[in-house]
Structure formats: structure tokens, C-alpha cells
């Protein structure tokens, strides 16, 4: 693997660890030229279903988009990166288990809301308020009351 710092083609694996759930392998590498260290992650290459937007457009699934929206909802909340990664893994596993070539964006939104509700109630309310496009304060109040129960 090429070094991300100096682009030297010779890097050496220093340490290899499997994730707790066995879904990926983390490798620490060291460049033979500049001696800097970096981390790589090895995951199976799978094909996720295409995402069908509300307007009918079809786009490729992007983990970065899912992660970005969850990070935004969880901004300044006491939730670790590992917890977020685990939630994303569960969402992706459910998408793969559907066995479909396409899935509506609304299904992904519901999966995200389910995971956020488990992780952090404030993040859940943040995400739901944007995702459900509340028109008035009563809809927001209803959601908050639901979370309090």
C-alpha cells in the first residue's frame, strides 16, 4: 500500500486487529521511506441497494452521507465514535439483509431514527425534526412527548 504522506510504495504492516464483531480488520502500517505510521481498514466489498429519493431519482448508497447526517445530529453529544460506527454497521447490515436492489431513502431515514433513539434522545429529536420536516411547533412537541415516555 502506498504511503499517504510521501507516496512511497513500500509500507509494512506493524499491527493487525480484528474488530470486536469481526466486520473489519484494522491494520497499523509504517512507511519504509518516511517512517510515518497510518491506519487502514479492510472491509468486505459489498454492493448496497441504490437509494430512491422522494423525487424518484436513484443514487448510489454512500456511507459518508449516512455518517455525516448522524454526526450532525450527534454533534456535541456524549456518544463515542465507536458507538456511531456500530450504529452505522447495524443500519448497513439491515440494508444488505433486505436483499433488494433499491431502497427508498425514507427506509434509511427510519433506520437512522431507530438507531439514534437508542444512542441519544436529543440527537433523535434533532434528526427527526429535520427528517420529518415539521410544519409547526405542535408536531415538534408531540415528538418530544413521545421521547419522554
Whole-angstrom Cα distance, residue 71 to residue 65? 10
Parallel, antiparallel, or unpaired: how do β-strands 102-104 and 11-18 relate?
unpaired
The domain locations on the chain are 11-42, 50-148
Identify the three-state secondary structure at position 77: coil
Dump pLDDT digits (tens) for 109-139. Answer: 999 999 999 999 999 888 887 877 777 777 7
**DSSP 3-state of 64:** helix
Q: What is the pLDDT of residues 31-82, one digit of tens each?
A: 999 999 999 999 877 789 999 999 999 999 999 999 999 999 999 999 999 9
For 117, residues 6+ apart whose C-beta sits below 8 A from its C-beta are: 124, 147
Amino acid at each position: 500500500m502506498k504511503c499517504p504522506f510521501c507516496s512511497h510504495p513500500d509500507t509494512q504492516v506493524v499491527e493487525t486487529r480484528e474488530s470486536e464483531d469481526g466486520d473489519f480488520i484494522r491494520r497499523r502500517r509504517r512507511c519504509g521511506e518516511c517512517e510515518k505510521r497510518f491506519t487502514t481498514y479492510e472491509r468486505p466489498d459489498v454492493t448496497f441497494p441504490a437509494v430512491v429519493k422522494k423525487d424518484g431519482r436513484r443514487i448510489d448508497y454512500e456511507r459518508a452521507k449516512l455518517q455525516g447526517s448522524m454526526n450532525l445530529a450527534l454533534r456535541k453529544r456524549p456518544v463515542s465514535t465507536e458507538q456511531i460506527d456500530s450504529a452505522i454497521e447495524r443500519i448497513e447490515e439491515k440494508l444488505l439483509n433486505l436483499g433488494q436492489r433499491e431502497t427508498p431513502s425514507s427506509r434509511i431515514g427510519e433506520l437512522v431514527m431507530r438507531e439514534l433513539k437508542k444512542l441519544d434522545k436529543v440527537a433523535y429529536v434533532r434528526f427527526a425534526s429535520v427528517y420529518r420536516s415539521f410544519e409547526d411547533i405542535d408536531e415538534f412537541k408531540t415528538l418530544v412527548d413521545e421521547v419522554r415516555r
